[in-house]
Structure 1
Amino acid sequence: MDLPRLRHIVAVARNQSFSRAAEEVGITQPALSRSIAAFEQRHGVTLFDRGRGGVYPTAAGLHVIEQAQRLLHAAGDLERSLKRYPQGEPGQVSIGLGPLMAGLFLPQVAGSLLRTWPGIRIRTLVRAPDQLVTELLNDRIEMILGNNWNLGRIPSTEIERLGRIGVAFMVRSGHPLAREGPVSSADLEDYPTASVVELQDDGLRDRAGCFICDNFHVLRETVLRSDCVWMSSPAFLADDLRDGRIVQLDVSGFAPAHSDVCLITRRSRTRSPTAAAVAEEIRALLAQAEA
């Protein structure tokens, strides 16, 4: 398809006049008529009916005009994104995240990028880690944001450490364990646990029950409405901790724990400006959380 010729067709349809369309696209009317006629002859269709009242698309013309508008719109998007690349301006990115990372980072990262880079397109995929690897290797996402999985061992991938987050045992305010002083691991075993899919071993037995959910916000609401014990990140529950809705437990025998946050990409692939912006945004959030 010849893009200039498609522009000629769309211009005639928009103006319902060959003379006005020719003026719009900056060529003579005879040249515009020859362009339309060449398309009609090549494809064996008639695009427009000409009459005293103007120029009107035929059924075939309507079909061509609709498809031409889509092609021209896509070509314009491509041209605009390529113009941004030399300046390192983000365009679009597809990110895979595990449930925990989505709950911790996605609202902050999306909000910041949308404010900083007007027009940016962010597509996210929240799934279990093994499913995300398949999406990455099939080029359906550009990168995976995760905690310290062993994804770096998978062939054709690279892992970059962005920072770390602290993790601790959390309960609602008013929970029987929300008292001053340390509690024991035996005390924890009397209460159900809340966990995301990624936390396969949180060190607790489940004799009191458990609630496993891959939605961070649902877990938070569940903990606020039950006696569940939740191992989560103090940095990203800062508002709840400050306002007293959630309490961090001091558990005897459990030293302060941290989880590395990593970016997993395909090996030897050039990172897009948008992917680089995402990585830097998360790095800055982690640095702020660790400060």
Structure 2
Amino acid sequence: MDYRRLHLVTEIVRQGSFGRAAQALGVSQPALSKAVARLEDQLGVALFSRGGGATLPTAFALHIVQYARERLGDADRITAEVRQMAIGETGRVRIADEPVARTGFMPQLVRAIVERFPALKVEIVDRAASDMGDRLAAREIDLGVASRRLDATQPGLKAFPLLESPLVAVARPGHPLLSAQDSSPAPAVVLPSRSPELGRLVGRPANDGAGDIIGPDFDLVKTIVAQTDVISHGPAFLFAAELADGRLARVPARLEGGPYALSLFVTEGALHSAVIREIAVIAQACGAQITRSGGA
């Protein structure tokens, strides 16, 4: 016996008449009567007794209703859970990010998502921009936050621009490079690889890796820069707080290759989800807020 027939019998018992049940189900009474008659023929028993203006369920119908309530209850629960997931009340969203985004953008984005969808599980996945498009296409992640160059290499992706930020070089206050009279070479902290721009800035050949410190954690990079004579560079929004409170100083140099452009990437199929669409709006609002605050 399929779901539809269980539902018909249950509704007739609940309403107490074929007429009211037909109205509740959105079908005509003759169509409902024919459906029940076919079911009775199939089972070889009467499900309802009719007389005196009343429709009374037989023991067979009551047995079906008891069975149906258990099954329909499970179906209703599953339906409610799926609907909740669709509107973001529950469920999971997987967001991949690259190191720059994780340090300078993701904390604000995750905070905004949690405020909007308090029961939504947010999973942050560390992925390089080079394979983020493949992971999106394979549905291993739902969203990717990375530099905008991903858009040109991965067909089928939708890019939502978040912010643009100029590249800056930073050093500790009082660093020799901040003085125009002192051009002493200094090591560079670079993420994730050596930088020709910084090599030129400190007077070393672009392929000279001597003295470089390479690290994947921008918070660690900023701590090293603030406490030593090494320098670093990156999008301005990464260093906005430290530059504002004087923990770091901007090195007066013009770096090539900017500005850094950050985008949110998602597949066109994932945009059928109302949650994903709203997260895209939230992400763009976060980018605009960082820009307004002077971090980009």
Q: 1:56 aligns to what?
A: none
> Matched residue pairs, number?
226
Distance 2:155 2:139 in 1: 14
Q: How far did 1:97 drift?
A: 0.8
Render the CA deviation track for 1:187-229: whole Å, top value 9, x for unaligned: 5xx2222222278654523444222222222222222233221
What residue in structure 1 maps to residue 135 of structure 2? 135
Superposed displacement of residue 169, structure 1: 0.2
In structure 2, the partner of 1:80 is 84
* Map of 1:210 onto structure 2: 212
Which of 223, 226, 241 aligns to 2:225? It is 223
> What residue in structure 1 maps to residue 287 of structure 2?
286
**Amino acid in structure 1 at the alignment position of 2:145:** L
2:186 maps to 191
Measured in 2, the distance between the counterparts of 1:199 and 1:156 equals 32
Q: Residue by residue, what CA displacement relative to the aligned partner does 1:230-262 show, whole Å, maximum 9, x if unpaired?
A: 1123334222112211111111x5479421112
The yes-or-no answer on 1:238 pairing with 2:233 is: no
Deviation of the 1:73 alpha carbon = 8.4
| Aligned ranges 1:1-291 → 2 under 5 Å | 35=67, 77-82=81-86, 84=87, 92-179=92-179, 190-197=185-192, 202-204=197-199, 205=206, 206-251=208-253, 253-254=254-255, 257-291=258-292
> In the superposition, relative to structure 1, how do residues 254 and 79 fare at CA in structure 2: closer, same or farther (>3 Å)?
closer
Q: Please, what TM-score do these two structures have when normalized by structure 1? A: 0.62
Report the AA paired with residue 195 of structure 1. V
TM-superposition CA deviations, 1:80-114 (whole Å, max 9, x none)? 224x27xxx78542111111111111111111221
- For structure 2, list consecutive stretches of 5 or more residues without a partner in the other structure: 4-61, 200-205
3-state SS in 1 of match to 2:176? coil
Asked whether the equivalents of residues 151 and 157 of structure 1 are also in contact (C-alpha less than 8 Å), the reply is: yes
Alpha carbons of structure 1 residues 216 and 139: separation in structure 2 relative to 1, 3 Å: same
- Distance change >3 Å, CA 214–CA 254, structure 1 → 2: closer
RMSD, matched Cα: 3.9
For structure 1, list consecutive stretches of 5 or more residues without a partner in the other structure: 4-29, 40-68
Larger radius of gyration, structure 1 or 2?
Answer: 2
Q: Give the TM-score of the pair, scaled to structure 2.
A: 0.62
Alignment correspondent of 1:26: none
Counterpart AA for 1:227: D
Residues 234 and 214 of structure 1: CA distance in aligned 2, closer, same or farther (over 3 Å): same
Aligned partner of 1:219: which letter? V
Residues 168, 256 of structure 1: 8 Å contact kept: no
